[in-house]
């Protein structure tokens, strides 16, 4: 019997009860969230459970919601069960002032660089990561560029001398 979103949801609530919440299905992909302290427990359960078998980490990234006070940063995992061919999306939210989230590198080797990237752009501190340093940006950088407080340059600005680049 193929695995369905309802079964996954039932299994998760059975195991974690109220601690996993916010079940939605945008465009058919089961999405839910948990407290950030639980992220490894949930990932481990999804990995080890003989029925769920979410053993492939497709993607991991961060999102910044500045208006979401106390839960500004989201870490989004996309997991894939290849035997039943079903994907889920799992989110944890963290406070921007203390962005500590447990690393998933012990479970997925793929998480290593994905977490470095998320750290690089959002400043999420992955506790226990073997080599948490910037990956795409220069190491001297002292801010996290994909956070929303860094707007892109205003295209209509006129105070800049652009003559050398043919835009003046």
Partner 1 sequence: MSEHHIKLPEGSIEKTTTTLNLGPTHPATHGVMQNILELDGERIVSTEQTIGYIHRAFEKLAERRPLAQITTLTDRLNYCSSPLNNMGWHLTCEKLLGVKTPKRVDYLRVIIMELSRISDHLICNSIVGVDAGAYTGFLYVMQYRELIYEIYEEVCGARLTTNIGRIGGFERNFNDIAFQKLEKFLREYPKVLKEFENLFQRNRIFMERTMGTGAISAERALNYGFTGPNLRAAGVDYDVRVHSPYSSYEDFQFNIPVGTTGDNYDRWLVREKEMWESLSIIEQAYQKVQEFKGAEADVYHADVPEYYLPPKVDVYTKMEALIYHFKIIMGETEIPAGEVYNSIEAGNGELGFYLISDGGRTPYRLHFRRPCFVYYQAYEELIKGSMLSDAIMTMSSLNLIAGELDA
Rounded alpha-carbon distances, angstroms, from residue 3 to 39, 42, 97 = 22, 18, 39
By CB under 8 A, tell whether 57 contacts partner 1: yes
Please select the residue that binds partner 1; options are 48, 127, 128, 136, rule is CB under 8 A.
136
DSSP letters spanning 147-160: STTSPPPPTT--SS
Please select the residue that binds partner 1; options are 8, 114, 124, 132, rule is CB under 8 A.
114
Rounded Cα distance between 31 and 44, Å, is 17
By CB under 8 A, tell whether 89 contacts partner 1: yes
| DSSP E strands, 65-152 | 73-81, 86-94, 100-102, 125-127
By CB under 8 A, tell whether 112 contacts partner 1: yes
- The contact set with partner 1 (CB under 8 A) reads 26-27, 29, 31, 55-59, 61, 63-64, 76, 78, 82, 85, 87, 89, 108-110, 112-114, 117, 121, 134-138, 145-146, 150, 152
């Amino acid at each position: 019997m193929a695995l369905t979103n309802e079964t996954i949801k039932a299994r998760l609530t059975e195991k974690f009860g109220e601690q996993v919440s916010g079940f939605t299905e945008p465009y058919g992909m089961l999405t839910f969230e948990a407290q950030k302290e639980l992220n490894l427990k949930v990932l481990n359960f999804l990995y080890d459970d003989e029925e769920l078998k979410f053993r492939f980490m497709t993607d991991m990234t961060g999102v910044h919601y500045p208006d979401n006070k106390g839960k500004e940063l989201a870490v989004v995992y996309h997991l894939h069960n290849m035997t039943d061919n079903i994907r889920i999306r799992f989110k944890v939210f963290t406070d921007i002032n203390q962005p500590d989230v447990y690393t998933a590198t012990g479970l997925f080797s793929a998480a290593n660089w994905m977490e470095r990237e998320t750290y690089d752009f959002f400043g999420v501190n992955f506790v226990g990561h073997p080599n948490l340093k910037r990956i795409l940006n220069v190491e001297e950088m002292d801010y996290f560029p994909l956070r929303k407080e860094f707007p892109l340059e205003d295209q209509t600005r006129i105070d800049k001398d652009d003559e050398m680049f043919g835009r003046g």
